[in-house]
Chain A
C-alpha cells in the first residue's frame, strides 16, 4: 500500500487533541507521585485528607476521561485521513467537538480544584459533587460523540466509493472503537442525566444507588477497552512494519477488534461482585462473558507473535526463541510493543483473579485493584500511546527526532517504573491494604510492615514520573530535529485481503449481537430497579461542606 501524507488540514486538529491530552497527562502524573508520597507516610507538603482526595479526583478524572478521550480522538482522526487517504467528511464538526471538550474540561476541573467535587472519578452516589463537575463531563462525552459520528461517516463514505473493497485494518479498528464508545457512554450518560445531575442540583432528596452503580458498571469495563484499542490497532498495523515485516493475518485483526467490542460491554457487573443489589445469577452470567475476552487477547498474542517471528527469522534468528533476540529492539515501536506485551502478561494474570467471582472477594477494594489497572492501563496501554506519539508526531510536524536514545530510555524508565510501582502494590493489596485511603497509621504494629512496601512503590512512582516527563521533553525537542518524511505507512498483511465477508468489513452484525447480549446481561438487572426493588439513599452533597 502507498504511504499517505497527513495533509487535508487535519494536522492542527490532531496536534490540538494530542497536545491537550499529554499536557493534562503531565499534570496528572505529578499528582500521582505526590499521592504515593502521602500514602507512604512521609508527610509531604500539603498533606491532608481533603487535598489527597481532591488530588485523586483530579488524577483519576484526567487519566480516566480527559487524556484517553482526547488521545483516542486525535488517533482516530490521524488514522482516518492517512489510511483512507482522504479528508475528514467535516473538519468543522471535529473542531466543534474539540472545543466542547475544552469547555467541559475547564468546567469540570474548576470545582475539583476548589474541593467542591471530591467524588473520585467513579460516579458512586450518594456522594454527589458540584453540578459543574458533572455538566463538564457531559460536555466531554458529547464532544466525543462528534468524533464517533465523523469516524462512522468517514468509513461509510469510503465504502461507498470503494464498493467490495475491505476497509483498511487500521480504520476498521478505529471505527470499532467508535461504536464501542457509543455503547459505552450510554450507561454513564444515563446516570449523569437522570441521577447525578438532578441530585447535584438539589431536585431530589434521594438517589437509587443500586441503579447508579449498575449504570456506572455498564460504562466502567468497556471504557477500559476504549483506552486499549489504539494499542491493539498499533500492534496490528504499526508494530510489524516497524520491525521490518508484515502482518501475519489481517483477518485475525478484524476478528479481534469485533470480539473486543462484543465482549467488553455485557460484562461490567464483574465490578459489582460484592454488591448486594444483584443476585448471583447475572453476576455469574457476566463473569462467563468476561472470560471470553481472553479470546481476542490470545488471537492478538498469537498473530503479533507470528508476525514478529517471521521478521526475527528473516533477520537470522534461530531456534525456539532465538528470533526474539534478532528483532530490531532499537526501534521505539518494536521496543514499546515488547514492553507492552510483558506488562500485559502480568496485568492479564491479575485480571483473571479480579474477574473470578470467588477470588474477587480476596482483593476487592484493596490496593491490588489500583495496582492492576496501573499495570494494564498505565503500563501496557500508555506505553503504546507513547510509541504512537513517537510515530505520528514526526509526521504531523515534519521533523525527525535528533536521536532515538532518549526515546528508548524513556520507554524503559516508564516500564521499570510501572513494575516497581505495581508489584509491591499488588502485594499490599493481598495484605489487605485498602485503596482510596489517604494515610495509614504505620505506628500500629499490625500494619507497620506495610510501610517499606509503600516506600518501594513510591520510588517506582517517581521513576514513572521521570519517564513521563522525559516523554514530554522528547516531544518538545522533536521540533529541533531534521526534516522528516510525512508519509504514514501501515503494516501490510502477508496475504493482503481482496474481499472479506461483510461481517468482517462492517458493524451491522456486531451491533445486533451486542444488542442481544446487552438485553440478556442487563435487561433484568436494570429492570428490577423499576419493577421489583429499589435502593434509595439520602444524597450526600460534598460541595455543601457539611
Chain B
C-alpha cells in the first residue's frame, strides 16, 4: 500500500461535484415522479385540465374521487340489523353502568329473565346471567328496530334508550353464570365434533369459534352454554327457515339451513350443558 496522502484541508472539487450531482439527480427524479403522481396521471382522460382537482384526488382528499358514490347502493339492500360496531358503540358500552342497569333489570326484565339473569322459564326466555354485553346490547337494539321479531320484547325494548340498553347489558354481563360444561357425554361424538371443529365438507365452521368461551369471532355472537335446549333448538330452526334474520352476512342462516332436525336437537342438548363437576 502506498504512503498516506496528506490530510485534505478543504473539500476537493471532486467532493463538491459528487454532492451537487447526487442532489440534482435525486431531486429531479423526485420532482418528475411527483408531477406524474399528483398531476399527470390523476388527470388522465379528463376533458378539462384542472391541476387542483387532480392533486386533491391524488392525495385522497374526500370529495374528489373520479367515480361518484352510487346513490342507489345504500338503499339496494336493507340491513339485517341496525347495530354497527363503531367506535361510538364501543364507547357507549364502555361507559355503561351496571348499577343503573340493575334497576332497569329489576323493574322490567326480572319478571321473565330473573332479576339475576336466571330465567323463570328457560325454554321460553333465555338466561342472561353472564351473557356477553355486546350480545345483549345487539339483541335489544334489534328488538327495538324490529330487525328481530318478538311481540313481547319489541315494546319493552322500544321503551328503553340506547344508554339504558347498554346499562342493562352491562348489568347482566356481570351476573354469575351457572357452573356448566358442554354435555359432551350426552351426545354423539359427531355432534361434539361439529361444535368444536365444524364440518368442512359442508362448509360449517365450528360453533365454538364464535360462541365458545374463548371465542374470537364476531363481536356480538352470544355464549350458548347454559341456554335451555328447547330455546336453542327453536333459534336454529328459525334461522334455518329465515324466520329469524338479524345475523350479519347471513352467517347463522347459512349454517342452520344445512343442519338436520336431529343435529339441531342434539346440538341444543350439547349446549344446554351439564354441571361442570360431573
Please measure, in the bound complex, the distance between the C-alpha atom of A491 and the C-alpha atom of B19, giving whole angstroms: 28
Q: In the assembled complex, which residues on chain A have CB atoms less than 8 Å from the CB atom of B85?
A: 538
Please measure, in the bound complex, the distance between the C-alpha atom of A528 and the C-alpha atom of B12, giving whole angstroms: 42
Q: Check: A124 CB closer than 8 A to any chain B CB.
A: no
Please measure, in the bound complex, the distance between the C-alpha atom of A352 and the C-alpha atom of B188, giving whole angstroms: 54
- Contact indicator A538/B87 (Cβ below 8 Å): yes
- Contact indicator B2/A281 (Cβ below 8 Å): no
- What 0/1 pattern do residues 18 to 60 of B give for CB contact below 8 A with A? 1100110011011001101110011000000000000101111
- Contact indicator A441/B4 (Cβ below 8 Å): no
Given contacts A164-B7, A280-B58, contact A503 B91 (CB under 8 A): no
- Taking CB atoms and an 8 Å cut-off, the chain B residues in 167-198 that contact chain A are none
Q: In the assembled complex, which residues on chain B have CB atoms less than 8 Å from the CB atom of A289?
A: 29-30, 33
- Contact indicator A517/B38 (Cβ below 8 Å): no
- Taking CB atoms and an 8 Å cut-off, the chain A residues in 498-524 that contact chain B are 498-499, 501-504, 509, 513, 516-517, 520, 524
Please measure, in the bound complex, the distance between the C-alpha atom of A270 and the C-alpha atom of B27, giving whole angstroms: 21
* Cβ 8 A contact of B215, one of A502, A504, A528, A546: A546
- Contact indicator A513/B201 (Cβ below 8 Å): no
Please measure, in the bound complex, the distance between the C-alpha atom of A215 and the C-alpha atom of B23, giving whole angstroms: 26
- Contact indicator B38/A281 (Cβ below 8 Å): yes
- Contact indicator B59/A281 (Cβ below 8 Å): yes
Please measure, in the bound complex, the distance between the C-alpha atom of A250 and the C-alpha atom of B66, giving whole angstroms: 51
Please measure, in the bound complex, the distance between the C-alpha atom of A314 and the C-alpha atom of B39, giving whole angstroms: 55
Please measure, in the bound complex, the distance between the C-alpha atom of A1 and the C-alpha atom of B2, giving whole angstroms: 11
Question: What bracket does the count of chain B residues touching chain A fall in?
Answer: 35 or more
- What 0/1 pattern do residues 403 to 441 of A give for CB contact below 8 A with B? 000000000000000000000000000000000000101
- Contact indicator B60/A513 (Cβ below 8 Å): no
Q: Check: A156 CB closer than 8 A to any chain B CB.
A: no
- Contact indicator A279/B59 (Cβ below 8 Å): yes
Q: How many interface residues does A have (CB within 8 Å)? A: 46
Q: In the assembled complex, which residues on chain A have CB atoms less than 8 Å from the CB atom of B61?
A: 279, 532
Q: In the assembled complex, which residues on chain A have CB atoms less than 8 Å from the CB atom of B250?
A: none
Q: Check: A44 CB closer than 8 A to any chain B CB.
A: no
* Cβ 8 A contact of A205, one of B34, B94, B200, B203: B94
Q: Check: B15 CB closer than 8 A to any chain A CB.
A: yes
Please measure, in the bound complex, the distance between the C-alpha atom of A28 and the C-alpha atom of B202, giving whole angstroms: 35
- Taking CB atoms and an 8 Å cut-off, the chain A residues in 267-296 that contact chain B are 277-282, 284-285, 288-289, 292
Q: Check: B6 CB closer than 8 A to any chain A CB.
A: yes
* Cβ 8 A contact of B14, one of A164, A278, A285, A501: A501
Q: Check: B67 CB closer than 8 A to any chain A CB.
A: no
Please measure, in the bound complex, the distance between the C-alpha atom of A538 and the C-alpha atom of B59, giving whole angstroms: 26
Given contacts A441-B201, A520-B30, A536-B87, contact A280 B42 (CB under 8 A): yes
* Cβ 8 A contact of A509, one of B12, B19, B91, B200: B19
Q: Check: B214 CB closer than 8 A to any chain A CB.
A: yes
- Contact indicator A284/B37 (Cβ below 8 Å): yes
Q: Check: B69 CB closer than 8 A to any chain A CB.
A: no
Please measure, in the bound complex, the distance between the C-alpha atom of A254 and the C-alpha atom of B34, giving whole angstroms: 28
- Contact indicator A538/B90 (Cβ below 8 Å): yes
Q: In the assembled complex, which residues on chain A have CB atoms less than 8 Å from the CB atom of B36?
A: 284, 288
Chain B nearest CB, measured from A526 CB (Å): 13
Q: In the assembled complex, which residues on chain B have CB atoms less than 8 Å from the CB atom of A441?
A: 200-201, 203
29 chain-A/chain-B pairs, Cβ below 8 angstroms? A1-B1, A163-B8, A164-B6, A164-B8, A262-B26, A279-B58, A280-B42, A280-B60, A281-B58, A281-B60, A284-B36, A284-B41, A284-B58, A285-B33, A285-B34, A288-B37, A439-B200, A441-B201, A443-B201, A496-B1, A498-B5, A501-B14, A503-B19, A517-B26, A517-B30, A520-B34, A532-B61, A537-B87, A538-B87
Known: A163-B8, A262-B26. 4 other contacts (CB 8 A): A206-B87, A288-B29, A501-B18, A536-B87
**Nearest 4 pairs of A and B residues by beta carbon:** A279-B60, A281-B58, A163-B7, A284-B37
